[in-house]
A and B are shown apart, each in its own frame.
Chain A
Amino acid sequence: MPLLFAHLMQTGFGGFYDGIAHLFLTPSDLLLVLGLALLAGQQGPQGGRLLLTLLPLSWWIGLAVGQLWGLDLTLALLSTVLFTSVGVLVALSLRLSVQVLAFTVAGSGLLFGLINGFTMPSASSGLPLDVLGVVSAVALLSVLISAQVAATRSTSFCIAVRVAGSWIAAAGMMSLGLLLKA
């Protein structure tokens, strides 16, 4: 199992909180959501709204498909490349068209949801609370960060956002190096 991926952990607070913890304790997922939230926020309120609509939805779809297939695919390289690229885009502070942003967000959500689906067994009965937890955490983090970035006009804050993007890219490049070496 690659370095930056984790199975569903158990908090002892039940499935919903296990799902939330899964996002925060899986560095690759967390870096992607942070990167996408920063990127969407850089595009203004419209980018944030698009992210809030598309990312949780695509993540959920990917997760459901991943659970349905139940395969153990290794998509580490692809997902690492993806969040590294998002970090680079944030660092460059590029203005993206709505279509490109929507494609990036939906594609990322589907891919990472798919990977989550492989690691999380589907609930035999009742509500899939762990899935609900992951998707809620994705939505919450997306809306909180993208809103803050979209609303703040301060130059130093914009620079800080770009620096954060460069750190995400750097973390991705280090992971890529480790993956290729392994």
Chain B
Amino acid sequence: MRRVLLPLLMVAALLMPRLVSAHDLFPGFLELQATGASTYQVLWKLPLLQGQRLPIAPRFPDDCALQGAPFSRQEATALVYQAKLSCREPLEGRVISIDGLASAGTEVLLRVRPWQTEALQTLLIQPEQPEAVIPTASEADQQPGVWSYLRLGIEHILLGVDHLLLLLGLVLIVRDGWMLLKTVTAFTLANSITLSVSAVGIVQVPAAPLNAAIALSILFIGTEVVRFTRGQTSFTLRHPWVLACGFGLLHGFGYARGLAELGLPHHELLLALLLFNVGIEIGQDVFVVLVLALERAFRQLQIRWPVWVRRVPAWTIGCAGAYWTIETTVSLIKGGV
């Protein structure tokens, strides 16, 4: 039985990262700045997923038309288009939809600055309802606005299989409650620091080496979990909070990159950043609590896993880390920094 299951599990662990790709936050971004009563400056960021354009595009009301050829440029993970939009009537109170959003499975953050006002309205357009009504000035106060960043933070961590695997690894190598608190706190503080300094533009880290380093951190934690399950020890197993601090700094840059692609609203910069960070922490804490609760439940049910089953999480983390490390390093070598 074991001879059959062991190779099967290893194959599954090797295939897993291919099936569940090391995500990134890939929402589209549409900004409409009124330059007149019914004219707008349009900024459209079309996300690139593994170099491919996501098949999504904004659809404006029929009486609106783009003026001239749109200007475009390519960024690391998005194509950016800028154009002028002219409508017969103002867009307030009217519907803007995103074609292809349902099948692409991503979201679009829409920001609108109406004519002769500083108020910036933020809306999140989701696949299940790929359209939004541009709020009028009186409705603007009732919009979730900057709160969308909280949801984006939670989403970023819950869909970030790479970040979750690192957290799982950290939880698995810590046995003592006090040490776990220290480790989780170190991770949180560290990623908050780099998220903040990177999101406001103080430090810029190129995407390709960052992805490779994040992948390598997962491979490293995988080997540490294996060492732990074998009853061995190391500096990081004795002081996991040091490891958590270092990797927290690294993963904070990863969190910030997704946020940087969206751009932060300047007049609500701190609040948006704080909410995004809180969202990430909520997601991380929920995951850690869940892992601990499951572990406790297995103990209560007196389930005694065979040794090879106890090693499955370590293999999964290690194999995924190895796969992503190779993949991101190849991209790094091919594409350069």
Return chain A residues, CB-CB under 8 Å to B105: 14
The answer to whether A144 and B302 have CB atoms under 8 Å apart is: no
- The verdict on A10 contacting B127 (CB below 8 Å), with A127-B19, A144-B294 known, is yes
Q: Which of A10, A140, A147, A151 has the most CB of B within 10 A?
A: A147
Among A125-167, those with CB < 8 Å from B are 126-127, 140, 143-144, 146-148, 150-151
A117 at the interface (CB under 8 A from B): no
A48 at the interface (CB under 8 A from B): yes
Instruction: Report whether over half of chain A's contact residues are helix, strand or loop; otherwise say mixed.
Output: helix
- The verdict on A143 contacting B294 (CB below 8 Å), with A13-B155, A13-B158 known, is yes
The answer to whether B301 and A49 have CB atoms under 8 Å apart is: yes
Closest-by-CB residue of A relative to B293 is A144
Among A31-67, those with CB < 8 Å from B are 45, 48-49, 52
CA distance A12 to B130 in the complex (A): 11
The answer to whether A48 and B128 have CB atoms under 8 Å apart is: no
Q: Measured between C-beta atoms, what is the minimum distance from A24 to chain B in Å?
A: 14
Q: Measured between C-beta atoms, what is the minimum distance from B125 to chain A in Å?
A: 10
Q: Measured between C-beta atoms, what is the minimum distance from A50 to chain B in Å?
A: 10
Q: Measured between C-beta atoms, what is the minimum distance from A145 to chain B in Å?
A: 9
A5 at the interface (CB under 8 A from B): no
Q: Measured between C-beta atoms, what is the minimum distance from B315 to chain A in Å?
A: 19
The answer to whether B159 and A144 have CB atoms under 8 Å apart is: no
Q: Which of B296, B298, B302 has the most CB of A within 10 A?
A: B302
CA distance A129 to B331 in the complex (A): 28
- The verdict on A147 contacting B107 (CB below 8 Å), with A12-B127, A13-B155 known, is no
Return chain A residues, CB-CB under 8 Å to B159: 13-14
Interface residues of A (CB under 8 A from B): 10, 12-14, 17, 45, 48-49, 52, 126-127, 140, 143-144, 146-148, 150-151
Interface residues of B (CB under 8 A from A): 19-20, 105, 107, 126-128, 155, 158-159, 290, 293-294, 296-298, 300-303
